[in-house]
Structure formats: structure tokens, C-alpha cells
Amino acid sequence: MGGIQLKSTPLVTVVIPTYNHSNFLREALHSVRAQSFLEWEVVVVNNYSTDDTIAVVESFADARIRLENFHNQGVIGAARNRGIALARGAFIAFLDSDDLWLPEKLARCMDNFDDQTDLVCHGLRCFGDVEVDMFCGPASRASFDALLDRGNCITPSATVVRKAALAAAGNFSEDPRIVTSEDYHLWLKLAQAGTRMKFLAELLGRYRIHQGNQSSAVIRHLNSVLQVVQEFFSGMPQHNPYTRRRLQRRIGLAYYSAARALQRGGKFHQAWPMLGKSLACAPFYPRTYAAVLLQARGMW
């Protein structure tokens, strides 16, 4: 078979889960092949797509790009775990099949690893329905307590992490109840285990936004976040009033985030119950009152 041949063991394995995203996948793979850093391999974990995903992968004729057909049963964490299991690199880089990297992404991330760093994360430029820059972190925002109290601040397509750190944390959960929040769950486990994280104030990738305004997707994500939050709070003293207040505030923040997502999608009638629950759980969270004002304006 012609094409590029793999000459040595790669340092970085890029794990790309995919399902019926062949056009996006082609762009994602091109962005990996354009990397200035060359010590990589790709494992595309294909959930038996019904489009031409297999043909797209084969068209690259690149031995560095491997295809694994795998039934993930709707659990993307299982697909990512499969890719991690097949990885030969000591570092794992995650790339969703609808996202892209800039050519210096891997080089800049690998330059920032040292003996005191287990995970490197950077910023992404969102494009599609909206265009905005999204910066992950900073490190103080990615402590276990901050992640639990304030929500996720890390995204897979911006992250490179030591494979050993993932193994120590047990990789991704495959609990179907936390689908869409399995990455948040993993970052919490990594932070709890003392994973040393570094955040770069650089835009090194592009995050595609599409079909994000579906109310069913918002509700599903809300329920998955609440499941993750309940799991981690369940390990704390339940009789402690501070713990109970902290949990209630976090639940209120989850409902606020769902309400804002619904508002951005023009689903104002569906946002009202979320705002009400947010206020009931976290009556002193000022952003909820601002969202109520936006809601009132949007309704009229």
C-alpha cells in the first residue's frame, strides 16, 4: 500500500471518535496531517457510521492514521477509552471529528510539558452558529473544588494529557447517565487525583458549533451534569450544612446554564422553568436575575 509509512513509535496518539461526520472528519484529519510536530499517530474510533467515513480514512493512505470500528452503544466515553487502549503514544490528544487544529497545536502543547506537567490545554476559536474565542482554565479554575462548584472549564479538543495520568484516574466513565458530561467527569477525577495542569492563553484550534440549540440536547446535558455533580458530592459529609448549601448552589448554576442555552436557541418558554429552579436553589446568584431580564425582553 502506498502513502506515508509509520517509521517509529509515536509520542502522541490522537484519539478521534466519530459517527456519520465524514465531511467534518476529512477536515479534522487534514488539520492533524498539517501539524508541524511529526511524532503522532491517529486512532479514528468509528461507531459503525453509515456514511463514507471508512472511505474518507482510507483515502489518506497514511499508516499513521488507523481506523477502529467499534460499537460504543451511544457512549462516547467508551469510544475514547477504546482509542486510549489502542494508543502507542505516551501522550493522548483528543480531537472531536467536527473540530480542527491549527498547525502549531501539538508543537506548542508538547513544548509545555515538563516533569511538573501532566495535562496541557489551550484556547479554541468557536465557529459555525456563532464565532467567539474560548479560553480554557486557568489553573486556579481547574482545581477539584473549582470544577465541582463552578462547572467545566476544559474541553477535549484542546487537551493533551499523559496516558499514565488517564490510567491512574480510570479513564473515561462509561456510565450512560453522564453522556455529554463524560469529559467533565474525567477532569474532576484527574483534578481529584492531583493531576498537574497547564493552560495556554493561545488559540490553537477551532471548535465547530452546530445543532446546539436543540432543547432536547440541552435537557439531556443538564441531566448528565446533575448526575456528575451528585456523584462527587455524595462522597462528602451529608450532614454538613455547608456541603448542602454548596450542592444547592451548584444545582442552581446547572439550571442557570441550561436556561441560558435555551435562550440562545430562542426557546424562551422552555427557559422559564430552568430559571425558576435556578433561583430556588441559588437565590443569591446574580447572573440568574440578569438572565430573567433577558428572558422578559426576549418574550416580548
Residue 86 sits in the same domain as residue 104: yes
Contact (CB, 8 A) for 35 and 64: no
* Nearest by Cα to 151 from 240, 262, 260: 260
pLDDT at residue 81 tops 90: yes
Same domain as 141, residue 176: yes
The answer to whether position 139 is within a domain reads: yes
Same domain, 58 and 203: yes
- pTM comes to 0.94
- Are 87 and 224 in a shared domain? no
Cell numbers given for 236? 462528602
Is residue 5 situated within a structural domain?
Answer: no
Q: Do 135 and 223 fall within a single domain?
A: no
Share of the chain above pLDDT 70, in %: 95
Residues 124 and 188 placed together within one structural domain of the fold: yes
Query: DSSP secondary structure string, 114-134?
Result: -TT-SEEEEEEEEEESS-EEE
Are the CB atoms for 222 and 255 separated by under 8 Å?
yes
| 190 shares its domain with 219 | no
In-domain check, residue 3: no
Last residue of a domain, one of 209, 228, 260: 209
Total Cβ atoms within 10 A of residue 51: 14
Does residue 100 share a domain with residue 34? yes
pLDDT of 254-296, one tens digit each? 999 999 999 988 899 999 999 999 999 999 999 999 999 988 8
CA atoms within 13 A on the CB side of 54: 7
How far, rounded to the nearest angstrom, does the alpha carbon of residue 63 sit from its chain's CA centroid?
27
- Distance, in Å, from the CA atom of 262 to the CA atom of 214, rounded to the nearest integer, reads 8
Q: Is residue 111 part of a domain?
A: yes
Task: Indicate if 166 and 188 belong to the same structural domain.
Answer: yes
Which residues 6+ apart lie within 8 Å of 238 measured at CB? 244
Burial label, 211 (beta-carbon count in 10 A; 0-12, 13-18, 19+): exposed
82 versus 216: the higher-pLDDT residue is: 82
Quick one: cell of 110?
508538547
Do 91 and 105 fall within a single domain? yes
> Number of folded domains in the chain?
2
Task: Summarize pLDDT for 234-258 with one digit per residue, the tens.
Answer: 999 988 999 999 999 999 999 999 9
Q: Is the dihedral of CA 67, 69, 74, 77 positive or negative?
A: negative
Cβ atoms of 179 and 76 within 8 Å: the answer is yes
Domain assignment of residue 118, yes or no: yes
18 and 119 assigned to the same domain: yes
Which CATH number fits the domain that encloses residue 156?
Answer: 3.90.550.10
In b/e form, how buried is each residue of 73-85, taking b as 16+ CB within 10 angstroms? eebbbbbbbbbbe
Which domain covers residue 63, as residue numbers? 12-209
pLDDT at 7: 54
When pLDDT is cut at 50, 70 and 90, the band that residue 130 belongs to is confident
Query: Residues in the chain, how many?
Result: 300
Residue 209 pLDDT: 87
* 135-151: pLDDT as tens digits: 999 999 999 999 999 99
- Comparing CA positions, the residue from 152, 146, 141 lying closest to residue 228 is 152
Domain membership flag for residue 172: yes
